[in-house]
Structure 1
Amino acid sequence: MRSYDEILAIAADRKGGVAAVLEGMPQPLSADALAAIPDDRWLAQFARGILQAGISWSVVDKKWPGIEAAFLGFDITAITFQPPDWAHELIGDTRIIRSPPKVQAILHNAAFIRRVRDEAGSFGRRIGDWPSSDFAGLVQWLQAEGARLGGNTGAYALRQMGKDSYLMSQDVVARLVAEGVVDKAPSSKKAWAAVQEAFNIWQAQSGASLTKISRVLAQSL
């Protein structure tokens, strides 16, 4: 497996220098900053990712004010105290993307976030305290406990919210394959463990964030 510096050099050669590779690099938030994000914003970000899957993102963007209103501002307590037939009303609401499985997934995630809030004080606290050295475990936890948060949906939402993260984009996976870490996008616990070990090694070599390493890998192909 090439070192971080070797992969950075490959990316720099492709992009016209290290400065070009690192331009616009997002900075992850601290654990306390993540903990301060209201629970409704976590649900909103998960909902956006779920609704965008398989359709034009611009459609979701245009409908977003109505979606926010229909889902009660994604207020966790308000949503989880609605009567059972409220889901059927939502599915017929023209303000939203009327997909029964997606609506049910958003409601499931509201209950999931509420459970975590009751345990940890806030959903953001649990996310913020999750160590970067086990980001793979966080991704798998979201997939197992949440609804429709598998693939890149959960990881992308974490990145958007500021969690130090890596994404299994096509280019990142291609670099991981080239380095002999995996032979395809990870789906098993063994493969995810191999990915995490590789990122931990690169992080130890560079002191860089997972976000930065992920972006460098993506630009090296």
Structure 2
Amino acid sequence: MKTFAEIREIALSRHGDLDAQLPQTLAVKLAEQTDDRILSQFTKRVFSAGFNWTVIENKWSGFEAAFHGFDIARNAFMNEEDLDSHLSNKAIVRNGAKILSVRDNAIFLSDLAREHGSAATYLGNWPVSDTVGLFDLLKRRGARLGGMTGQYGLRMLGYDTFILSNSVVAALNMAGVIDGAATSKTVQKKVQAAFNTWVEESGETQAQISRTLALSVPD
């Protein structure tokens, strides 16, 4: 496996100065968020998947109003009348399956809050050395939060996560960490072990290492 220093040199040779291209730590950490903001961000990522992100961003005030500020208790009890109202609301994107994911993720977050005091505390304090375990939790207990949807949601909420984008996966292959896709639990554990090693080696965050990996391979 390549060292992070070697990967960084490859990225530097391709793009020059990297500092301006690396993600900055968000001012608010995931553990400091309120649970309604977690539901809001997860919903934004779900609706953005396979869609124009700009359209979703421009409509977001309509989403906030339609889903009651993403109050998890209110949305967990979404009923047929609520669904019909959402499906006729031109202020949001009227995708039935994605609308229902708001209810299902509200239930998921409500369950975490009941079990652990708040969803934010539980998710935000998940050890970054087992980030793939958090990916698995979102996939198993959340709705439409598998893959990069949940990963981007965590990143935007202030959790130090890597993103298994096509470029990062290609770089992980180039670095000798994996051979092929990064979808199975076994392979993702190899990815996590590599990130843990690189974090210890470099002192950089997982997010910064992830971006450096992406910059080390052709676009």
TM range (shorter): over 0.9
Tell whether the 8 Å contact from 2:163 to 2:210 is kept in structure 1 after alignment: yes
**Aligned equivalents of 2:26, 2:130: Cα separation in 1:** 17
- SS for the counterpart of 1:41 is helix
Q: Which runs of 5+ in 1 are unaligned?
A: none
Contact 2:161–2:207 (CA under 8 A) maintained in structure 1: yes
Measure the CA separation in 1 of the matches of 2:107 and 2:47.
18
SS for the counterpart of 1:168 is coil
Task: Say whether the 8 Å CA contact 2:31–2:120 is kept in structure 1.
Answer: yes
Partner residue in 2 for 1:188: 184
Q: Which amino acid aligns with 1:132?
A: V
- Match of residue 45 from structure 2: 49
Calculate the TM-score normalised by the size of structure 1: 0.92
1:7-18 alignment to 2 at 5 Å?
7-16=7-16
1:114 aligns with 2:110: yes
Identity %: 41
Of residues 174, 180, 185 in structure 2, which corresponds to 1:178?
174
Cα distance in 1 for residues equivalent to 2:81 and 2:31: 33
Whichever residue aligns with residue 10 of structure 1, its letter is I
How many angstroms does 1:93 deviate by? 1.9
Is 2:29–2:157's contact at 8 Å kept on the other side of the alignment?
no
Cα shift readout 1:146-202 (whole Å, capped 9, x = no counterpart): 011112000011111110110011211111111222223311111111111111111
Q: Which amino acid aligns with 1:195?
A: V
AA at the equivalent of 2:108: F
Q: Would you say the 8 A contact 1:156–1:167 is kept in 2? A: yes
Residue number in structure 2 paired with 1:150: 146
**Amino acid of the structure 1 residue aligned with 2:170:** A
Partner of 2:162: 166
2:62–2:92 CA contact under 8 A, matched in 1: yes
How many residues align? The count is 217
Q: CA RMSD in A?
A: 1.7
Matched letter for residue 30 of structure 2:
L
Structure 2 length as normaliser, TM-score? Answer: 0.93
- Asked if the contact 1:136–1:193 (Cα under 8 Å) also holds between the matched residues in 2, the reply is yes
> Which SS does the other structure have where 1:180 is aligned?
coil
Deviation sequence 1:94-153 (CA, Å, 0-9, x none): 221111110111110011111111112221111221111100111111011101111200
